[in-house]
Amino acid sequence: MTDERNFRSSYYEKVGCRGVEEKKSLEILMKEKPWDKVKLKQFCLRFTVPAAYRNLVWKVLLDILPVYPDSHQYVMEQRTEQYQDLLYAVEMLELVDMDAPRSEVLFEMWLLENEERKPPMFPETNFSSADTFLPIVKTLLELYDDEVDVYWLAKTLTEVVRSMQRELPKLKEAFMTMLEKEDGELFNHLVDINALEVLPLTKWFNCCFAGVLDDTSLTKIWDKICSGAPKILSFAAVMLVVTLRRNILRSKNAEEVIKCVSQIPEQCEEVVANKAIELWQYYGAQPQSDTLAKK
């Protein structure tokens, strides 16, 4: 029965029916005043957000915009003013070469806003916030043309990552448990060659796979993160390793495994995202504690 449902869903998606139905469902939610954020999160947890609405939906889920649509224009005008003030300040203070890559300019703006000269470390993991903000902002710059939106999304997603630092051990534990369950042979091989502990899980989780998977694949995963379910990252890590299992099983030591997971074939990236979401939903997708979502 499960296989039949999966086949039917896959068929509907290929012929475009499923996307149309989901878009209509989301549009109904967006006509409510105010928006019901609980329903919006539930939608994002169940479905992939249509690209045309993703920017707006993410901004509401991350509290960049309020749930009152009539206030969206005014609030974004305020966000834009703050962005322009920060941009002007970093230029006047000569904090960055304005001809530098835009990601570096936005990063300096973020540091200035947080009254930092150097990237702060996440105290729980001693991981540099630069290695979270920069990959995320680079991905967002590929997704969206409006740099105001990019800046606000990058800073709020970085805050989400900062908030989940204490949960990283649980995410890693979930990865280990799920990998052993899904592919015992692969799990045992990684244990045998002492490669399990050297997998870059902290890096993957703290950049939400930005720079690891392609932009199209990431948006599907980030829909869930913006909805308060960072546990999707554990499933993405599992499917990344499982998708590369053939090469990993050929690896004779930890160094070869690291090289393997650092060279992901392009054709595998969307497979990883889709399979991760399928696995996550199969095991009962639920948002993690509200403390992981941005307040």
Give residue-wise pLDDT tens across range 25-52: 999 999 999 999 999 999 999 999 999 9
Assigned domain for 157 exists: yes
Assigned domain for 62 exists: no
Is the same domain home to 174 and 269?
yes
Is the same domain home to 6 and 49?
yes
Is the same domain home to 33 and 129?
no
Nearest-angstrom CA–CA distance, 240 and 212: 10
Is the same domain home to 84 and 147?
yes
Is the same domain home to 200 and 276?
yes
Is the same domain home to 77 and 104?
yes
Is the same domain home to 183 and 265?
yes
End position of a domain, from candidates 129, 163, 197: 163
Is the same domain home to 82 and 26?
no
What angle, rounded to 10 degrees, do the helices at 215-226 and 51-61 form? 40
End position of a domain, from candidates 163, 180, 214: 163
Residue with tokens 């448990």: 177
Q: Which domain holds residue 3?
A: 1-53
Assigned domain for 63 exists: no
- CATH number for 111: 1.10.8.680
What would you report as the CA-atom Rg of the chain, rounded to the nearest whole angstrom? 20
Give residue-wise pLDDT tens across range 150-199: 999 999 999 999 999 999 999 999 999 999 999 999 999 999 999 999 99
**Confidence bin at 142 (pLDDT 50/70/90):** very high
Is the same domain home to 116 and 221?
no
Burial class (CB in 10 A: 0-12, 13-18, 19+), 5: exposed
Assigned domain for 127 exists: yes
Is the same domain home to 156 and 178?
no
Nearest-angstrom CA–CA distance, 225 and 250: 33
- CATH number for 172: 1.10.472.80
More reliable by pLDDT, 41 or 288: 41
More reliable by pLDDT, 266 or 76: 76
Residue 186: which of 143, 247, 277 has the closest Cα?
Answer: 247
End position of a domain, from candidates 124, 146, 163: 163
Say what percent of the chain tops pLDDT 70: 89
Assigned domain for 218 exists: yes
Is the same domain home to 91 and 171?
no
List all residues 6 or more positions away from 34 whose beta carbon is below 8 Å from its beta carbon: 66, 67, 68, 69
Burial class (CB in 10 A: 0-12, 13-18, 19+), 229: buried
How confident is the model at residue 137, as a pLDDT? 98
Assigned domain for 64 exists: no
List all residues 6 or more positions away from 132 whose beta carbon is below 8 Å from its beta carbon: 122, 158, 161, 162, 206, 207
How confident is the model at residue 22, as a pLDDT? 85
Assigned domain for 75 exists: yes
Q: What is the mean pLDDT of the chain?
A: 90
How confident is the model at residue 295, as a pLDDT? 35
Q: Provide the domain count of the chain.
A: 3
Give residue-wise pLDDT tens across range 261-285: 998 888 888 899 999 999 998 886 6
Average the pLDDT over 221-248 and give the result. Answer: 96
Assigned domain for 120 exists: yes
pLDDT of residue 4 exceeding 50, the answer is no
Is the same domain home to 112 and 156?
yes
